[in-house]
């Protein structure tokens, strides 16, 4: 391959006891590409992301980042991968014991050894990038609205100028208008960094906006993978049911396991 994938999953399997969640996931994210993994509740989107982040170990298969297999990487290789990674967590996951700017600057001070005064300036610039003024810098995250917390989480994710960004359900828990603001900011920040991005979401509006390419996870496999421009016309009944949000169709809802 002339342009090797930034992130590559090959035949990834993960089970919990008898429950086979991932059953041979294959997926590539090219350098500078934004890929959204879509799928219903309980299909294994979070498990996939956790495997890539090294929080779960796959039972089988490989996950390479910049050509290094993370499934048998050394701690130093894992740390190097995380150092070039930014992550926006589902609930923003800010530290309430730290101020907003300290949250944004955390990776710069703890990871990069930047002096707090310099890191504060960078944090305030990143807050501006996501539309927040310096007036919020000294506030506690707990005093901010959900949408503002997401934006602080995004400012933190981009603070170290990572090569790879992970977005975990970025629009969950906020209203659709703020969700759209977050989507626009994600696109802007990812493009400005030239980062590769992997987003897990069940929000099609978000996937349409954020992603260059969409991969649909169902019954442990990627059952469709293609450009976002093709999701409405692709000849795949599972994808079409999910995109339309129809109750009737080939997708089976296993309510016992959701
Ligand atoms: N640590 C674990 N132990 C046992 N089962 C788990 C564990 N983590 C996930 N699962 C199971 O794996 C399945 C997939 O879960 P996962 O959280 O990846 O789904 P998801 O696609 O992210 O769903 P949602 O959109 O609802 O967050 C679920 O049935 C879940 O209960």
Tell me what ipTM this predicted complex has. 0.96
Is residue 119 within 6 Å of ligand 1 at its C-beta?
Answer: no
CA–centroid distance, 46 to ligand 1, in Å, is 6
Nearest to 247 by CA among 51, 9, 11, 40: 40
Is any atom of ligand 1 closer than 6 Å to the C-beta of 256? no
Question: In whole angstroms, what is the distance from residue 133 CA to residue 140 CA?
Answer: 14
**CA quadruple 252, 212, 45, 103: dihedral sign:** negative
Give the predicted TM-score (pTM) of the model: 0.92
Dist. CA 151 → ligand 1 center (Å): 26
Share of the chain above pLDDT 90, in %: 65
Domains of the chain: 1-79+191-258 (3.40.50.300)
For residue 232, give the H/E element and its range.
Answer: none
Residue 76 CA neighbour count, 13 Å, CB half = 0
Give every CB contact of residue 34 below 8 A, 6+ residues apart in sequence.
187, 190, 196, 197, 198, 199, 210, 211, 212, 213
**pLDDT tens digits for range 64-112:** 999 999 988 899 998 889 889 999 988 768 888 999 999 999 989 988 8
Residue 2 has pLDDT above 70, yes or no: no
């Amino acid at each position: 391959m002339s342009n090797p994938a930034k992130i590559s999953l090959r035949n990834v399997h993960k089970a919990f006891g008898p429950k086979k969640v991932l059953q041979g996931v294959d997926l590539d994210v090219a350098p500078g590409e934004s890929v959204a993994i879509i799928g219903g509740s309980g299909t294994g989107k979070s498990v996939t992301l956790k495997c890539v982040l090294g929080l779960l170990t796959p039972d089988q298969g490989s996950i390479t980042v910049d050509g290094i297999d993370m499934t048998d990487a050394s701690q130093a290789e894992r740390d190097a991968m995380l150092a070039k990674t930014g992550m926006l967590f589902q609930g923003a996951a800010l530290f309430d014991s730290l101020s907003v700017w300290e949250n944004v600057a955390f990776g710069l001070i703890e990871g990069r050894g930047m002096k707090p005064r310099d890191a504060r300036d960078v944090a305030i610039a990143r807050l501006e990038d996501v539309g927040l003024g310096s007036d919020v810098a000294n506030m506690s995250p707990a005093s901010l609205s959900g949408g503002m917390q997401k934006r602080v989480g995004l400012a933190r994710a981009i603070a170290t100028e990572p090569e790879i960004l992970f977005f975990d359900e970025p629009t969950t828990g906020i209203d659709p208008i703020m969700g759209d603001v977050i989507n626009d900011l994600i696109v802007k920040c990812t493009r400005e960094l030239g980062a590769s991005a992997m987003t897990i979401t069940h929000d099609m509006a978000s996937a349409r906006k954020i992603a260059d390419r969409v991969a649909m996870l169902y019954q442990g496999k990627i059952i469709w993978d293609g450009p976002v421009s093709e999701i409405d016309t692709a000849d795949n009944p599972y994808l079409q049911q999910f995109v339309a949000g129809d109750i009737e169709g080939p997708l089976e809802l296993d309510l016992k396991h959701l």
